Amino acid sequence: MIEYRQGNYVQDKVIIVTGASSGFGEATARTAAAMGAKVILAARREEKLQQIVKEIKEAGGTAEYIVTDVGIQEQAEAMARFAVDTYGCIDVLVNDAGTMPQAFFADHKLAMKDWEQCLNTSIYGTLYCTCAVYDQMMAQGRGHIINVSSILGDFAVNGNGVYNVSKAGVRYLAESLRTETRGIIKTTVIRPTSVPSTELGKTIVNVNESMAGMYEKLFAAMMKNPYTTPGMNDRNSIQYDAPVAQDIVDNIIYAINQPWGVDISDITVRASGENMYL
């Protein structure tokens, strides 16, 4: 009865990953390729994409890349065409591209352009990429779209208004797509906790006063505390409090690694020992 859980349903799937030049996107592409998927990496930084694809191929994986700004509809459509031209179909789209411009409304003069980019990437980018693969998936009779949201997509938090909107938005885009296509396109929403080691923190506008900034200070102070629990950096410890990208990616891959008839529609990933208030 549980034999399917021991299988590899990632093998031979054609998977597009946006935001693939770093963080969750890069780790998803590498892991999927290592499991036998045919991966298309999409992001804006060509140099990084070239290096990642080179390393995947050297490790025996199958991957190509296309420079893509997901916030530009024509580029999202070109990404989808490239996947079909290269591998013949599109089985999975992982919408990972995004920014986190944490800032207060009082910071609006400083933050507005970053907020606009955040909404353009997360909302329009997810919409454009979803629509770019939609016809192909419907014609195939099956597909799977994974949207990377956040625990901040569920709660309004000071200094996170725009980011809250962006991450709530990708959740509703996924859930409405699933019901509208009546199961032809599976959808998954991944809600990660804070993962300090990714490059997402570089897009914060008001670093000192942001939630991520305060949490980082708290974490740094705890690490200097001689009474700090040793297991905070050990993912095998119940006190683990410093998740890395791979912890999230393992769950993205879990959602992909299912028979076509099984849809893991929603996953929240936290560190067991974290002190996040969301």
Which residues are catalytic, by number? Answer: 163
Q: Residues near 3 by Cβ (< 8 Å), separated by ≥ 6?
A: none
Helix (H, G, I), strand (E, B) or coil at 146: strand
What is the DSSP secondary-structure string of 162-224? HHHHHHHHHHHHHHHHHHHTTTSEEEEEEEE---TTSGGGGG-SSTTTSHHHHHHHHHHHHHH
Tell me how crowded residue 160 is: count the other CB atoms within 10 A of its CB. 23
How far is Cα 250 from Cα 150, in angstroms, rounded to an integer? Answer: 16
How far is Cα 87 from Cα 155, in angstroms, rounded to an integer? Answer: 40
Helix (H, G, I), strand (E, B) or coil at 79: helix
CA angle 55, 53, 114 (to 5 degrees): 120
> Is residue 209 a contact partner of residue 166, using CB atoms and an 8 Å limit?
no
How far is Cα 256 from Cα 23, in angstroms, rounded to an integer? Answer: 18
- Half-sphere exposure of residue 177: CA atoms within 13 angstroms, side-chain side: 29
> Is residue 177 a contact partner of residue 130, using CB atoms and an 8 Å limit?
yes
Q: What is the residue type of 259?
A: P
